[in-house]
Amino acid sequence: MIRTAGLTEATEETFEAQVLESALPVLVQFTADWCGPCRQLAPVLGEIAREEAARIKVVQLDVDRAPQIAVRYGVLATPTLMVFRAGEPVKSLVGARPKRGLLRELADVLDPAGR
């Protein structure tokens, strides 16, 4: 697993509590150790996790260690970023992107009026 400061690892055992039951929206990075773009994206997600901690929680889920969850949500490529709100996926993005672009794509999730 790509370890990044500010990011929590979700597993098969913790996914429900960390993601589905979270009071905040949760951005899940479906990742893998062998994924180059995932490694590039991890520090960006770490920064977002620290800067936006009051508005969104960011976790990583290794698709090789939790394949059932990846299959359940139709994840076919890494990195896939999926936003969950109230236990339901509300947004899905595939591929690495720069921080500014990612924040722009997450604006509706980060805006409390978007609830």
| Residues marked as catalytic | 35, 38
Q: Which two tokens stand for residue 100?
A: 């500014």
CA atoms within 13 A on the CB side of 43: 4
In the block, residue with structure tokens 């039951």: 21
